[in-house]
Amino acid sequence: MADLFETGATFLASQLKEHGSQTVTYTRGAESVEVQATVGRKDVLVETTAGALERHEQWDFLIAGADVVLADNLTLPERGDRIKLPRATHTDVFEVMPLAGEDHWRWSDSFEQQLRIHTKFVGTE
């Protein structure tokens, strides 16, 4: 008998991908793949070693783990990977990196279907 929660998580992930995502390009070095991603942004306060608070903008990309295939291999995010988000007149570029005391990625669900990848905006193309 299938786990009802896993079935529900699979359904919700498919709906998010179909109705709440856009095409981005996930890149590592010369390898890249187009994937569907749900994009989110939040402001976080980070305390510096001097005790001052700095505001940082963190961009998260929710991507199905099974979709990130580079050089014919299923791939987990690494620091320094890039995600390119097309806009009307340019492409925004984000770098995978840990921000605000978190690692650079984590599973977004208990069943390891959705990656939540933390990034920082680094420029445009």
SS3 36: strand
pTM value is 0.87
Tokens matching residue 73: 């291999």
Tens digits of per-residue pLDDT, 47-82?
Answer: 777 888 888 788 999 999 999 999 999 999 999 999
Length of the chain: 125
Asked whether the beta carbons of 43 and 55 are under 8 A apart, the reply is yes
The total number of structural domains in the chain stands at: 1
Tell me the β-bridge partners of 42. 58
Tens digits of per-residue pLDDT, 74-108?
Answer: 999 999 999 999 999 999 999 999 876 789 999 99
Confidence of residue 1 (pLDDT cuts 50, 70, 90): low
Domain of 53?
4-124
Report how far residue 20's alpha carbon sits from residue 17's, in angstroms, rounded to the nearest whole number.
6
What angle is formed at CA 74 by the lines to CA 37 and CA 101, rounded to 5 degrees? Answer: 60
